[in-house]
Amino acid sequence: MDQIKKFVDELDRDLISNGLVFVIGAGASVASGLKTFRGEEGHYKDHRPEDLASPYGFRRDPELVWEWYQMRMRKGFEAKPNAIHHSLVDLEKHNLLDIIITQNVDGFHHRAGNSPDKIVEIHGTITKSHCFDNCGETFDYDVAPGEIPVKCKCGSLQRPSVVWFGEILNSDDLMQSQNKMQRNKLVVTIGTSGMVYPVAALPFIAKNNGATVIDFNTNSSPISEIADLFVEGPAEESFKIFSDYIISLFVE
């Protein structure tokens, strides 16, 4: 897209070479065949999100909650990272990526090949679980569990390692994310609605600290209103153009 290349050409090269910071939302995984949180099919539409993703809902019906996550895990493991995820890996390989702050719990950034120290899964991940009563036992998954609810070795139950309604984000993850917004001068958002706080505030923190903000999304959002460049449409197409062009500028 000429719009993208023209914008990149006008950027200070130092902004790019210092590494881009990314804030990733659910829209980045749609091209992999995953629906957003509130778009799941079947009888789960008859349940409030809080019934399926909260400590209260888990205490009330752990089997229902695990059934829902089992379904999401199966879909996630069957799906594959898309062009957005692979482009982020390419940027890292060329030392042009600082950090990925993702709201997604699907684990695609790890599976695509980004380094763990470059990924902040700020809402957790469904590829892990931990003891509901915090005994310290954790499980890792590369397939969905066959028997649910998943029992912990201590006699309690395991729960998916995601941040549920009514829970606070990991303080270290949040602090790291906020620090990046205050220090880095080039922030890119992909597929995020800008409606889920406190992550939705991150691009605004960056903007208030003088950063250039670029937003890739299928629809306008509060973020696109403050972005220096808003690229509307499927990000798996436009973001690859963006990342490939940036890499071409630094490849001799």
The residues assigned a catalytic role are: 123
Burial of 66 (0-12, 13-18, 19+ CB in 10 A): buried
| Whole-number Å distance between alpha carbons of 107 and 124 | 9
CA pair distance 88, 243, nearest whole angstrom: 8
Distance CA 235, CA 143 (A): 28
Cα gap 86→237, rounded to integer Å? 12
Residue 83 makes CB contacts below 8 A (sequence gap 6+) with: 31, 236, 237, 239, 240
- Residue 125: name the closest of 178, 163, 158 by CA: 163
Report the interhelical angle of 235-250 vs 2-9 (nearest 10°).
40
**Bridge partner residues of 151 (DSSP):** 157
Q: Give the whole-angstrom CA distance, residue 191 versus residue 40.
A: 17
- In SS3 terms, 205-223 reads as HHHHCCCEEEEEECCCCHH
